[in-house]
Structure 1
Amino acid sequence: MNLLAADVGGTKTLLGIYEFKQKLNLINSKSYKSKEWDGLDLILNHYLSNLSSKISQPKYACIGLAGYVSNGSAELTNLGWKINEELLKQEIGVENITIINDFSCLIYAIPFLEKSQYEIIQYSKNKDPKNITPNIYAILGAGTGLGVARGLITSTEIKVLPSEGGHREFAPRNDSEWELSKWLKINLGLKRLSIERIVSGTGLVNIARWRLTKEDAKFHPLNRLIKSTSSTIDTKTDLAETINKSAEEGDPVMREVLDIWISAYGSAAGDIALQELCNDGLWIGGGPAARHIDNFKSESFLKSLRNKGRFSNYLEGIPVMAITDRNCGLFGAACKAHLMACRMPNLLRR
């Protein structure tokens, strides 16, 4: 039985057909530029109608999207799309469809991940082999925004608890972050600053914009580029990539920017781990995760993650993993579609 998976974002929409034969296998995929289409239904119809005749049409589908989902409906404001499960069933002819947040998809992926799809950042010290309670996981990831989700996973069931934890208030920890937060509130016209204004691809650009206002960076080559660039998602993604590349190539100012970002990222990860008490694993996902493996293993990230006062020892002991598969959002949607179709829950692998 074939399964349809979708990973829908403001920049691109990735679609795939999977089949399950001992494990999930991708047999066909295609990427679309989201802004070139007036609706998700048009993309899905185009994709399904152009499948090879050798590929049977899917009966189950999971749509993972970067946005808040309520009662089977969602709105992607950056695209002007309104998406509804029941309408999609009629429009694309697939009887069983679910729409979930993209980070919820990643929770569904956890039991199915192969070792080649992730890397261990910190090994477990706290795991009690006699613990028979459900395994508790949390995941976060800095993309365009800061995605967060939680889940309870047993050998027979996965319960996902969606979250908008990326919109929690940003709490400065030092003089630099305090100065940055004050500048951003004024620059963006905000009275309240959420974590994802700092810990996200857009946040990395925000930190660079602030740092480039300093006197010693007045003539920095990126100053003119950042000031002349529009504020669309695509251009912010490109700028974040440029900042990363400059830091990796030895630019001291951009290295400072990246260090501030990585430290704030680690602190946010530690806060989420404490809030969820995810003894069985804190996962880091999102598109940029794969390129930051060395940064996640750095003292800056891990020290910030663990530096939580009386709970520092606890945080030193939880397992932390980073997903390296850049298409894991699509894979996670396929995992959910598989669970929808599967009546044998013992297929879950640990």
Structure 2
Amino acid sequence: MSARVLIGDLGGTNLRLALTDGDGLRSECVFKTAELAGLEAALEAFLEPIPAPERPKSAIVAVAGPVSGDRIRLTNCPWQFSRDAVRERFGWARFGLMNDFAAVAAALPHFADDHLDAVQTGIEVARRPKLVLGPGTGLGVGVAVPSGEDWHVLDGEGGHATLAASNGEEAELIALLRRRLGHVSAEDVLSGPGLVNIFAAIAERDGLDLDPATGEEVVERLDKEGCPAAQEALDRFACFLGTVAGNAALTAGARGGVYLAGGVLQNLGARFRADLFRAAFNAKGRMSAYLETVPVYRITHPEPGLFGLQALARG
């Protein structure tokens, strides 16, 4: 490979690293953030077996949190680091940083059909904004907008927008969550911990002595016990995701498509209620007809963040 660039996708749970020349990946490796002291320790472990002449001269890393200034702090992980210190330690001429879902947004114009499963058929409008949302450790949001013959990615913290209720039942659950959490954001229900929050609110409402610690345990209760509270939690999750995605699609004018990613949807698999998602996504009064024409996809590519970073390295 020539012109190697180190690319990294740093989320709340995992750090994925690889080398690329823009057309392929080499030395791909996954680290658990809980098992290492920080980014520099992970980079040392990744680069150690690579001969010095073959080490990258530049890097692009996507992080799950706001990117501003020199000091970077992740939202759902205790890691923090200095951009300048990392660049100087590894001798990189360039060290690019971006939000992790800006990296996924960079991949949206490049996905092949076999990287996507349709959630809602629609009419994709060429050269219009594309939106991605991803419930995982947190809730990532990114947008790709056309810029001349290319695409420009916008990052932000849309996952922390205030969660809205679409009906009285949702309002009741949000009120219960507000008593425990204070501000209730979209991420507080649309993430792994968010699935636990929904379940806990349902259990409190119904006077149930149930207290799962993880989203995986909520799913296990459904699979092993047919737990009605777990089923409702998954149904509410799909509805909340549809509402949030529909709001974001209207804001971004995402006629180029809405894309769903994230580890929670991967873990749910066929349990994800696409029908409830669609109903909530399109329930926008006078704008319902507008949203019904917007195609929605689930991303099936195993590494959408690295795929987007690879595209950026190529450019």
Q: d(CA) in 2 for partners of 1:281 and 1:214?
A: 37
Task: Look up the SS of the partner of 1:94 in the other structure.
Answer: coil
- The answer to whether the 8 Å contact 1:290/1:325 transfers is no
1:153-204 Cα deviation digits (max 9, x unpaired): 357322111121111111212222111111111122x1x3222112222211
Counterpart residue number, 1:37: 36
Q: For residue 138 of structure 2, what is the aligned residue in structure 1? A: 145
User: For 1:71-122, what per-residue CA distance to the aligned partner results, in whole angstroms no more than 9, with x for missing partners?
Assistant: 4642126544333433222111222220100000011112332333222222
Unaligned runs of 5+ in 2: none
Structure 1 counterpart of 2:97, one-letter code = I
CA gap 1:116/1:297 in 2 versus in 1, 3 angstroms: farther
- What are the superposed Cα offsets for residues 194-240 of structure 1, whole Å, 9 maximum, x if unpaired? 2211222221100111122244634xxxx2x53xx5xxxxxxxxx10
Q: Which residue of 2 aligns with 1:92?
A: 90
- Structure 1's unaligned 5+ residue stretches are 230-238, 340-350
Tell me the residue number matched to 2:100.
102
Match of 2:67 in 1: 69
**In 1, Cα distance between equivalents of 2:168 and 2:33:** 40
- Residue of structure 2 aligned with 1:244, choices 219, 227, 233: 219
**2:25 is paired with a residue of what secondary structure?**
strand
Shift of the 142–55 alpha-carbon distance from structure 1 to 2, 3 Å rule, reads farther
The match for 1:176 among 169, 183, 186 is 169
Question: How many residues get paired?
Answer: 312
Alignment RMSD (CA, Å): 2.4
TM-score, normalization by structure 1: 0.81
Aligned-partner Cα distance in 2 for 1:111–1:178 = 37
Alignment of 1:214-229 (within 5 A): 214-215=205-206, 217-218=208-209, 223=210, 225-226=211-212, 229=213
Take 1:78 and 1:302, find their aligned partners in 2: how far apart are those partners?
29
Displacement of 1:54 in angstroms is: 10
For 1:111 and 1:126, the matched residues in 2 are separated by 12
Q: 1:297 offset after TM fit, Å?
A: 6.3
Judge which range, 279-288 or 243-252, deviates more. 243-252
Query: Equivalent residue for 1:193?
Result: 184
> What is the deviation of 1:37?
2.6
Matched, 1:11 2:13: yes
Q: Which residue of 1 aligns with 2:256?
A: 280
Secondary structure of 2:54's counterpart equals coil
Q: Aligned-pair distance for 1:45?
A: 2.0
Report if aligned partners of 1:126, 1:314 keep a CA contact under 8 Å in 2.
Answer: no
Q: How does 1:194-209 map to 2 (within 5 A)?
A: 194-209=185-200
- State the percentage of identical aligned residues: 30
Q: Report the alpha carbon displacement of residue 313 of structure 1 after superposing the two structures with TM.
A: 0.6
Q: Deviations over 1:37-74 (max 9, x none)?
A: 332122112211223x4993223321011000014642
Partner amino acid, structure 1, of 2:174: S
Q: Provide the rounded CA distance (Å) in 2 between the counterparts of 1:55 and 1:173.
A: 58
Q: Report the residue type matching 1:243 in the other structure.
A: V
Taking structure 1 as reference, are residues 295 and 307 closer, same or farther at Cα in structure 2, changes over 3 Å only?
A: farther
Q: 2:284 aligns with which of 296, 304, 308?
A: 308
Q: Which amino acid aligns with 1:14?
A: R
1:268 corresponds to: 244
- Output the amino acid matched with 2:146: I
CA contact 2:234–2:272 (8 Å) conserved in 1:
no
Mean alpha-carbon deviation: is it higher for 321-330 or for 99-108? 321-330
Q: Could you tell me which amino acid in structure 1 is paired with residue 153 of structure 2?
A: V
1:135 aligned counterpart, secondary structure: coil
